[in-house]
Amino acid sequence: MLQVTDIRENKEKYIKALAKRGIDAASVLEEVLNVDEERRSSQAQLDEVLAQSNSYSKEIGKLFQSGETQKANELKGKTVELKESSKQLNEQMVNAAEKLQQLLYTLPNIPNDLVPAGTDENDNEEVYKEGEIPKLVEGALPHWELAKKYDLIDFELGVKITGAGFPVYKGKGARLQRALISYFLDKNTSAGYTEYQVPHLVNEASGYGTGQLPDKEGQMYHVGIDDLYLIPTAEVPVTNMFRGDLLNNSDLPITCTGYTPCFRREAGSYGAHVRGLNRLHQFDKVEIVRIEHPDNSYTALDGMVEHVKDILRELKLPYRILRLCGGDLGFTSALTYDFEVFSTAQDRWLEISSVSNFETFQANRLRLRFKDTDGKNKLAHTLNGSALALPRVLAGILENYQTEDGIKIPEVLVPYCGFDFIK
């Protein structure tokens, strides 16, 4: 959530920055400032009325003590009027504050200066590429056919149990899935991230805290009777562990990792680009989250990018990194790097990680602050990244490691799997 004080001081800058997202925010920002002025005016008048009422109360006590009952009763009548006035002003202030909050919820984060202009994924900027694209045998299969051929994943069984987008992993497919989770967690913890096991459902306050609500309400599964939401990513519960906290400067950075299943109500679409593991309603992901001092957050972002690079190097998968343009940037993000692995059998790039810096956007919603060395309370910066999302990594492994005789297992995963080949 953007800060009103910043909007007031940098309105033109914010209008220009949000235009990079394709948003004409001039009228909304003006309304924000007008509503905030109403709130501040009501607050100032209320403070004045309360101060006057407090002064009268002290004077009334003295008048009664000195026997000036008539004057005391006259002032009591005025305090009744002030009480009614304070009630009305408080209501005006609360209404203005609620309206202000709702307006601010509609505004996305300000893009970092590095974010390129653009309207959609076609305008994203490739900033890095690594790894050789393997030459597959003639008749190489996409992962959904490999999964069926080697009895690794049963998509139809998932439809029977739940519906489309809820696959069932079997045998070596399940073991490979578990191996990836363990490997990712081990890589993250060895890099200094503390592992957490968190709830898979969150309350409404958590959804608002990290910015999934109200922006992505339609994409989240909602348990109505309990008013809880199935998590779309571990970012939500992990980051919300620090909601409302006032940290010490010495506490930073805070680095967390966690594995969770993720649940997303994606819009229905058809075709090869959403077949198999390409788009699911339930999938597994290992996440990394950082709480940083604002001075260090972009250095931390670069470190997270290097960390994900290292994982993909060990898996020996060809990948590239994109800097997302304004039109493709997530609602809460100031700067995002997407990692994509090349699917040789599908002849296309598949997104497998997003690494983002949210600056103070989430922290303002979360009221996540730290006491800086100057003694002032300041908003922290929050960051998160996938390390990694499993479905498309698994798809990339199945497709890029296939041979005429079966599927090789990346060397780094063999100790976790207990086998080196799928026949």
Residues forming the annotated binding site?
233, 264-266, 287, 351-354, 384
* Secondary structure letter of residue 227 according to DSSP: T
Cα dihedral sign, 115-121-122-126:
positive
* Ordered alpha helix ranges (H), 241-296: none
State residue 235 phi and psi, 5-degree precision.
-50, -40
d(CA 349, CA 278): 11
Q: Which amino acid type is present at position 136? A: L
Give the closest residue to 298 by CA, choosing from 247, 256, 356: 356
* Ordered alpha helix ranges (H), 106-139: none
Contact of 311 with 286, CB cutoff 8 Å = no
Cα dihedral sign, 260-263-266-269:
positive
As beta bridge partners, residue 201 has 230
Give the closest residue to 219 by CA, choosing from 281, 165, 272: 281
Q: 3-state DSSP call for residue 406?
A: coil
Q: Report the binding-site residues for L-serine.
A: 233, 264, 287, 384
Q: Report the binding-site residues for ATP.
A: 264-266, 351-354
Contact of 2 with 107, CB cutoff 8 Å = yes
Quick one: angle between helices 390-400 and 171-190, nearest 10? 120
* Secondary structure letter of residue 324 according to DSSP: P
Q: Which helix (H) or strand (E) holds 286?
A: strand 282-292
